[in-house]
Amino acid sequence: MTKFFISLLFFFIPVTFLCAQGNFQAVDIMNKTNRAVAALDSYRAEVRYTDAQFSGQVHICALGKKYRVDINGMTRLYDGKNFYNIMPEEKEVTVESSSEGNISIGAMSDILNIFARNFTPAKAVKKENVWYLTLVPKKADKELQSVLMKINATTFLPKSIVEKRNTGSGATIEVISIKKDTTLTDAYFVFDTDKYKKQGYYIAKP
């Protein structure tokens, strides 16, 4: 699931690319997109993820660095300190501490920082009201060839992302909706240990 969440969420996360790297216009578009997402602060998003093994809708809620991702009956929750992977079919919750070096795979700043370290904005082409932004790996990658992002030229919010692999396969993420939600509070991102214990869940703590 780690690889999935990384590929799913990196383009929702604000970080500034250095203009010394990559195509200047592409870098500028990427930075504008990051600023547009950062301005939301708290939001709800619906996206559809498709690859060779999986296709389904994903619901994302975020408040600052805290987030909740629901996909295919499973939930990943980050409360600012710990990560909780809630798996109803197994009646199990795995808990990971952010202080122990675990990688946040949904937090806004962390994921795109990983992305920024590994990709360069290479080309930006505008067609009608959409920017087509191509990003390439900074280092030779045996699997990944490039990433194509479609960005709304008015709002600078992402519309979709297509991952192209050297094997000819890939993954697509379509943004169905992304909206600011000022009703989200910290309480929504609190893990209720007693609730899950009463439901018979096994809680695996670090």
For residue 77, the domain's CATH number is: 2.50.20.10
Q: Can you give the pTM of this predicted structure?
A: 0.79
**Structural domains of the chain, count:** 1
Residues 10 and 134: beta-carbon distance below 8 Å: no
Mean pLDDT, residues 91-120: 64
The Cα 54–Cα 189 span in angstroms is: 27
The tens digit of pLDDT for each residue in 167-192 reads 878 888 888 998 888 899 999 999 99
The Cα 107–Cα 95 span in angstroms is: 16
The Cα 76–Cα 106 span in angstroms is: 8
Is a pLDDT exceeding 90 seen at residue 129?
Answer: yes
The whole-number pLDDT of residue 104 equals: 46
The whole-number pLDDT of residue 84 equals: 93
Helix axes 108-118, 24-40, angle to 10 degrees: 170
Residue in this structure with the two tokens 């939930």, named with its chain if needed: 75
The whole-number pLDDT of residue 178 equals: 87
Mean pLDDT, residues 67-86: 90
The phi, psi pair for 99, rounded to 5°, reads: -80, -10
Range of 114's domain? Answer: 2-204
The whole-number pLDDT of residue 166 equals: 81
Residues 42 and 63: beta-carbon distance below 8 Å: yes
Mean pLDDT, residues 114-121: 72
